[in-house]
Homo-oligomer: A and B are copies of this chain.
């Protein structure tokens, strides 16, 4: 089944990218979180990852040590720690994604507007289903 191969390809790609960046999967996932949601507090990372607070402290330590993020006190509530992505550090890895991006751009260019609409609709809905399924699995005891 092609859906499965696609899913597998995604996992492999992520693993290889993470390795290339010198990150573990959890670390890469966190970087991705920060890219999508912007700066987060440690507590918010706890929410999003499901990790224990202690684990997130260590996780942030490692990302700081590797230069991917900075740790700042929240001026509004100085108990909080804001984790901010160092975008400059990331640009160095752009070439890693270029191959994929260029390939996908070329692929999209071969479809009509109507076809692209179908594909986007599919991707959106399939993603929602996958997210729901993930939640369902981890939920039930």
Distance in Å: Cβ of A125 to nearest Cβ of chain B: 5
Q: What number of copies of this chain does the assembly contain? A: 2
Bound CA span A3–B105, Å: 12
Judged by DSSP, the binding face of A is helix
Also in contact, A9 and B130, with CB within 8 A (given A2-B123, A2-B124, A137-B96) = yes
Also in contact, A12 and B134, with CB within 8 A (given A119-B118, A127-B6) = yes
- Interface membership of A90, Cβ < 8 A: no
- Interface membership of A133, Cβ < 8 A: yes
Also in contact, A134 and B9, with CB within 8 A (given A104-B126, A122-B119, A129-B103) = yes
Q: Are B10 and A11 in contact (CB under 8 A)?
A: yes
Q: Are A16 and B134 in contact (CB under 8 A)?
A: yes
